[in-house]
């Protein structure tokens, strides 16, 4: 059973109506890691729907969180906003400075600035959650009831946090963070509580009162989270391992939640995604691949597959090089499998059966829309990469794949070609996939050459000097260089690839050579002969 179905099954035991939640703080550029949060929730939702449950899938935007520091991509001007809620401060402009004009005119907040493109990417990838903005929820009174309970039961909450997290809270700790005279959540000391007012004194020496029913502050994270579960009615939430550890915010949250009179949601802890060789992704260090950037390179199904095929507790190492190639090819392979037939095979071991079922599940979860039908294009990523690099026009790519003006390629394939061309142009294309002619051969390349190979190479040069310089004639010239001395054409290809590209196999050579000047090719072969003789 697919992992999402396992979770759905657990939910089915608890009831028919479920609110599945996800949540992110838009404090900077979104990255692939955030996609795991959302897609894990999305996949559980889909599985739950398939199981016949009534599902509401939500995405809580934590725009009530404060700006922690001036991140490297921000201008120093932002230091005035440290501690301020990211839904209530201006977005950065192209220089990283606060854009006051857009903020006052269009209301574009810091949080919205990072959120909007992410939501756009989510649509592309087939995820359309109900959005709940935290700041608005506080201001509109959604937190009233739970906030009151939290403040009334401050001692109980303190006990839970201190016991479960084994962390001692400060003496003046209080389960409500008021906004200070400047609008910051930092450096404020709570001096008293008299519902609905929390009295405070800030770092500037100013004293005031925060009305908890008007969103003049917020609950600290460890209380804010279970508070959301309670007023929204969350029954299931997937969260990163940082929250899942013993003593972490889920552990305290599940108890605090019950204080609010609500049962804690079904948890699912997921591992992080790291960038190969560079450690965990982090918005603040700039070590990221954005979902938007990734979607420019590959179709959304493939990004979904990345999340779907790995169990949540597996760490994922991602990169936009060979990992992407393998992932994309894996996707095509899945599409072309005949699962029905595989499942009817005799003597199917339990192990094998599980494997097939998981593959079916992963493929199902990779669909952008649950209803869409999947069809195999029978064109692998590698192959398309090759065609995109060697053909000079799209038409030539299509005709190579057997399409014509009457039998046009499907739009999904056209889209893939366009993405492929972007990938080839980008810095992400691995050297391994790049087609290149080696102009300066080295002796190392010819260590497998014997007398026959050298003879063929000399004949190849003669053939290429003589033939018409077009794809067809070059295509004949290569095998002929071996045939004339009654050797297998295989040797001729081996010799040609080694000499021109430094590898023993490769893509169809003739069309590539036809695009290059004859003189350059002849010169390379001459150099090869010199190197071999040296």
Partner RNA sequence: GGGCCUGUAGCUCAGUCAGGUAGAGCAUCCGGCUUUUAACCGGACGGUCGCGGGUUCGAACCCCGUCAGGCCCGCCA
* Residue pair 15/235 in contact by the 8 Å Cβ criterion: yes
List the one residue from 306, 481, 493, 524 that touches RNA (CB under 7 A): 493
Token pair 């996800």 is at which residue?
Answer: 22
* Site stretch for RNA (CB under 7 A), options 84-92, 366-374, 421-429, 471-479: 471-479
Residue 280 CB, shortest distance to RNA, in Å, is 4
* Site stretch for RNA (CB under 7 A), options 91-99, 376-384, 414-422, 526-534: 376-384
Residue 50 CB, shortest distance to RNA, in Å, is 17
Those residues whose C-beta lies under 8 Å from the C-beta of residue 212, and which sit 6 or more positions away, are 143, 144, 147, 148, 151, 176, 195, 196, 197, 198
Q: Which of residues 3-22 bind RNA (CB under 7 A)?
A: 6
Nearer CB in complex with RNA: 96/489: 489
User: Could you tell me the end-to-end alpha-carbon distance of the chain, in angstroms, rounded to an integer?
Assistant: 62
List the one residue from 29, 37, 63, 216 that touches RNA (CB under 7 A): 37
Strand partners, 282: 287
List the one residue from 199, 382, 421, 527 that touches RNA (CB under 7 A): 382
Nearer CB in complex with RNA: 197/335: 335
List the one residue from 173, 497, 514, 518 that touches RNA (CB under 7 A): 497
Q: Which of residues 178-207 bind RNA (CB under 7 A)?
A: none
> 342: number of CA atoms within 13 Å, CB side?
16
* Interaction between residue 34 and RNA (CB under 7 A): yes
> Residue 163, Cα to own-chain centre: how many angstroms?
37
- DSSP for 160-203, please give it: HHHHHH--PPPTT--S-EE--TTSBSTT-EEEEEETTEEEEE-T
In 15-53, beta strands by DSSP E: 17-24
Q: Which of residues 336-375 bind RNA (CB under 7 A)?
A: 349-352, 354-355, 358
Nearer CB in complex with RNA: 181/287: 287
Joined tokens for residue 455: 């003879």
List the one residue from 186, 196, 506, 529 that touches RNA (CB under 7 A): 506
Nearer CB in complex with RNA: 191/476: 476
Determine if the peptide bond prior to 70 is cis (ω within 30°): no
Strand partners, 17: 54
Cβ burial of 77 (10 Å; 0-12, 13-18, 19+) is: middle
Those residues whose C-beta lies under 8 Å from the C-beta of residue 433, and which sit 6 or more positions away, are 322, 325, 382, 385
Q: Which of 476, 430, 475, 483 is nearest to 455 (CA)?
A: 483
* Interaction between residue 294 and RNA (CB under 7 A): no
* Interaction between residue 469 and RNA (CB under 7 A): no
Nearer CB in complex with RNA: 10/102: 10
* Interaction between residue 259 and RNA (CB under 7 A): no
Residue 188 CB, shortest distance to RNA, in Å, is 15
List the one residue from 4, 29, 36, 184 that touches RNA (CB under 7 A): 36
* Other Cβ atoms within 10 Å of 508 Cβ, number: 14
Q: Which of residues 392-411 bind RNA (CB under 7 A)?
A: 400-402
Q: Rounded to the nearest 5°, which phi and psi values hold at 251?
A: -60, -45
DSSP state of 24: E
Residue 278 CB, shortest distance to RNA, in Å, is 11
Nearer CB in complex with RNA: 148/508: 508
Residue 189 CB, shortest distance to RNA, in Å, is 17
Joined tokens for residue 525: 């072969």
* Site stretch for RNA (CB under 7 A), options 173-181, 198-206, 403-411, 482-490: 482-490
Residue 171 CB, shortest distance to RNA, in Å, is 16
List the one residue from 380, 422, 424, 428 that touches RNA (CB under 7 A): 380
Q: Which of residues 427-466 bind RNA (CB under 7 A)?
A: 433-435
List the one residue from 74, 86, 135, 387 that touches RNA (CB under 7 A): 387
């Amino acid at each position: 059973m697919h992992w999402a179905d396992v979770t759905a099954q657990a939910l089915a035991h608890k009831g028919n109506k479920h609110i599945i939640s996800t949540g992110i703080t838009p404090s900077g550029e979104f990255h692939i890691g955030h996609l795991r949060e959302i897609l894990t929730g999305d996949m559980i939702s889909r599985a739950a729907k398939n199981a016949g449950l009534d599902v509401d899938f939500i995405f809580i935007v934590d725009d009530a969180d404060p700006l922690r520091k001036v991140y490297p991509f921000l201008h120093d001007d932002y230091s005035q906003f440290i501690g301020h809620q990211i839904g209530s401060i201006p977005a950065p402009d192209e220089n990283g400075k606060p854009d006051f004009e857009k903020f006052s005119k269009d209301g574009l907040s810091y949080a919205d600035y990072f959120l909007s493109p992410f939501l756009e990417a989510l649509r592309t990838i087939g995820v359309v959650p109900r959005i709940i903005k935290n700041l608005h929820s506080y201001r509109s009174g959604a937190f009233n009831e739970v906030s009151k309970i939290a403040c009334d039961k401050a001692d109980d909450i303190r006990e839970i946090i201190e016991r479960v997290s084994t962390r001692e809270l400060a003496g003046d700790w209080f389960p409500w963070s008021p906004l200070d005279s400047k609008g910051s959540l930092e450096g404020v000391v709570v001096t008293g509580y008299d519902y609905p007012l929390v009295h405070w004194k800030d770092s500037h020496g100013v004293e005031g009162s925060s009305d908890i029913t008007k969103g003049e502050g917020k609950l600290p994270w460890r209380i804010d989270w279970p508070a959301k579960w309670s007023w929204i009615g969350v029954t299931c939430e997937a969260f990163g391992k940082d929250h899942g550890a013993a003593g972490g915010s889920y552990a305290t949250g599940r108890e605090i939640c019950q204080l609010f009179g609500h049962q804690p949601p079904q948890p699912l802890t997921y591992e992080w995604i790291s960038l190969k060789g560079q450690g965990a992704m982090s918005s603040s260090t700039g070590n990221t691949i954005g979902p938007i950037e990734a979607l420019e390179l590959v179709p959304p199904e493939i990004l979904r597959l990345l999340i779907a095929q790995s169990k949540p507790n597996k760490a994922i190492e991602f990169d936009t090089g060979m990992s992407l190639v393998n992932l994309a090819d894996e996707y095509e392979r899945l599409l072309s499998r005949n699962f029905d037939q595989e499942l009817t095979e005799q003597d199917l071991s339990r192990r094998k059966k599980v494997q097939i079922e998981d593959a079916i599940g992963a493929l199902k979860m990779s669909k952008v829309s649950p209803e869409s039908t999947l069809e195999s294009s029978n064109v692998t990523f590698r192959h398309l990469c090759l065609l995109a690099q060697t053909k000079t026009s799209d038409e030539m790519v299509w005709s190579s794949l057997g399409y014509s003006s009457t039998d046009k390629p499907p739009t999904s394939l056209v889209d893939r070609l366009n993405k492929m061309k972007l990938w080839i142009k980008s810095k992400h294309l691995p050297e391994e996939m790049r087609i290149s002619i080696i102009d300066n051969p080295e002796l190392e390349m010819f260590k497998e050459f014997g007398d026959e190979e050298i003879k063929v190479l000399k004949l190849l040069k003669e053939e290429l000097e003589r033939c018409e310089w077009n794809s067809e004639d070059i295509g004949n010239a290569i095998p002929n260089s071996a045939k004339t001395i009654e050797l297998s054409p295989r040797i001729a290809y081996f010799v040609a690839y080694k000499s021109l590209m430094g590898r023993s196999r490769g893509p169809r050579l003739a069309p590539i050579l036809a695009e290059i000047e004859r003189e350059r090719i002849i010169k390379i072969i001459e150099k090869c002969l010199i190197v071999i003789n040296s």
